[in-house]
Amino acid sequence: MSNVVYSQREVKRARYAVAAVFAVHGAVTGSFATRVPWIQDHAGVSAGQLGIALAFPALGASVAMPVAGRITHRFGARNALRGLIALWTLSLTLPSLAPNLLTLCLALFTYGATAGMGDVAMNALGVEVENRLGRSIMSGLHGMWSAGALIGSAGGTLAAHLGADARVHHALAAAVLTLLGVLSCQWVLDLQPAEDEEPPPRFALPPRSALLIGAVGFCAVFAEGASLDWSAVYLRDQLDSSAGLAAACTTGFTLTMAIARIAGDKVVDRYGSVRTVRASGVLAALGGLLIVVADHPAVAMSGFALLGLGIAVVVPLCFAAAGRSGPNPSQAIAGVATITYTSGLIAPSAIGGLAQATSLVVSFGLVTVLACGVAVLAGVLRTGDRDRPKVTRPDAAVPGPRP
């Protein structure tokens, strides 16, 4: 991107604008997730067919993510994000319209493709703002995504409780979120490619740096996906907990992650990405160990809380490091995002398959091992700390990265 100079006031305003976009992105996910049972009934698909259909968002995202960089290069960062976030919010209407399995799969593929492109564009802009501020903001941005998802989920839960038609609910939600997303994009940084900057390829394999950083994200997202989908089952089946207590464990895990992400930037600024992620991995591994050895629901719930606290900031810091790892930030971010989406896709089924063959205790033993992997591999994020510019005057105009 061109080396444009922005005032500190403009950069701070852009930070809040990007945070709003993250919240809108999360709200779409929350709005969709709560109406999946209605969508299943409307499309007339079985549980097994629904499982197949729910793989298509990740497939769509994996295919489309590498294209986001080229779109940003052609239209500029602000226009690209405005268009991509609008496509994402409007795609919320598609799944509830699907009358059968085939159309549901196509709708979810489109839904995932627009989600992935918007994800790459907003994370790339988040890294640009972070560079100009000279301090960590990516953890807080992902915390805003979690907050948006909780708001979207609350709205969806209310709509489901009232028996609202998901087509009407999602049409109204899409209209509101599209308006909020497009308006928020008005204040993001309007970055344009340099005159001599070559456009990124239409499709390219992730760079080696993205693969290493993505491995850290893979471990964290695997633990997150396993905990979200299996924590309640673990408490119910392994520790004979009530349904209410089991559900509270999953809610507590999600809330712990959201709080840790919002508060995580101060920790990163003080200790740096590598030490923060290394300590996070140790904390997550201790949580996993508590889950494995737990003989009482309170011990397991404490373990899940520690696990959530440990992995919360890892993925945001992976995106931040990817955005500073080479000459093409969008391509690197797309590579890391693809790896993490893949991890989120395979984690629930992998945990279930291993539990079927052995037990859930063994499955969460694997989660504990992967949490250790976060601590061991944390050093690959060192580039992000080294390359972040430092800002010494609060009112200074801050240039972009050196070409």
Q: How far is CA 153 from the centre of its chain?
A: 16
CA-wise closest residue to 85 among 14, 1, 183, 171: 183
Tens digit of pLDDT for each residue in 349-374? Answer: 788 889 889 999 999 999 999 999 99
Other beta carbons within 10 angstroms of residue 372's beta carbon come to 17
| Interaxial angle between packed helices 101-133 and 314-323, expressed in degrees from 0 to 180 and rounded to the nearest 10 | 70
Q: Which residues of the chain have pLDDT under 70?
A: 1-4, 194-207, 326-327, 383-403
Secondary structure E strands in 263-309? none
Q: To the nearest 10°, the Cα dihedral for 135, 139, 141, 142?
A: 160
Task: Give 39-70 as a 3 state SS string.
Answer: HHHHHCCCHHHHHHHCCHHHHHHHHHHHHHHH
Residues 6 or more apart in contact with residue 8 via CB below 8 angstroms: 391, 394, 395, 396, 397, 398
Tens digit of pLDDT for each residue in 62-83? Answer: 889 888 888 988 899 999 999 9
What does the pLDDT read at residue 394? 41
CA-wise closest residue to 265 among 84, 120, 138, 76: 138
What does the pLDDT read at residue 197? 67
Q: What are phi and psi of 398, to 5 degrees?
A: -115, 120
Over the range 376-402, which residues count as b (16 or more CB within 10 Å of their CB) and which as e? ebbebbebbbeebeeeeeeeeebebbe
* 194 in Cβ contact with 120 (< 8 Å): no
* 295 in Cβ contact with 240 (< 8 Å): no
Total number of residues shown for the chain: 403
What does the pLDDT read at residue 403? 31
Helix (DSSP H) and strand (DSSP E) numbers for the chain: 16, 2
Tens digit of pLDDT for each residue in 291-344? Answer: 999 999 999 999 999 999 999 999 999 999 998 886 677 778 888 988 888 888
Q: How far apart are CA 104 and CA 81, in angstroms?
A: 26
What does the pLDDT read at residue 230? 87
Other beta carbons within 10 angstroms of residue 176's beta carbon come to 14
Q: How far apart are CA 71 and CA 116, in angstroms?
A: 13
What does the pLDDT read at residue 199? 67
Q: How far apart are CA 30 and CA 152, in angstroms?
A: 4
What does the pLDDT read at residue 202? 60
Structure tokens at 4: 């444009």
What pTM was estimated for this model as a whole?
0.85
**Domains of the chain with bracketed CATH:** 8-186 (1.20.1250.20), 208-384 (1.20.1250.20)
